[in-house]
Amino acid sequence: MHAVIKTGGKQYRVAEGDVLQIETLQGEPGSTVAFDEVLAVGDGADMKVGTPLVDGAKVEAEILDHTRGEKIIIFKKKRRQGYRRKLGHRQNLTVVRIGAISA
């Protein structure tokens, strides 16, 4: 069974057992978290799509770790003006393992 969940301003297609990195969530490693914003749930022909959310659907996940993403370099330059700016960013992420998907 698959589900489409929304968290951190992004949408993810998940199945039971999937491990994914998402925007930072509150909680300790080993604790569980529930995603209530489920946009679609089902398999193949019996896929149930919400308007915008599926009523009563929930996806449970276990927090595995808190980590940081790769460094992104932002470099701005205007030619012949002597203007250069360099900035870096690393996003805080949470690694979760998808558990039960309930429709």
pLDDT at 86 over 90: yes
pLDDT at 103 over 90: no
For residue 44, what pLDDT band results from cuts at 50, 70 and 90? confident
Please measure the distance between the N-terminal and C-terminal CA atoms of the chain and give it in whole angstroms: 10
Residues 6+ apart with CB under 8 A from 81: none
Q: DSSP state, 67?
A: E
Break the chain into its structural domains and give their ranges: 2-102
- Tens of pLDDT along 15-38? 999 999 999 999 999 999 999 999
Q: What is the mean pLDDT of residues 43-54?
A: 90
Q: What is the pTM of this model?
A: 0.85
Pairing of strands 83-89, 92-102: unpaired
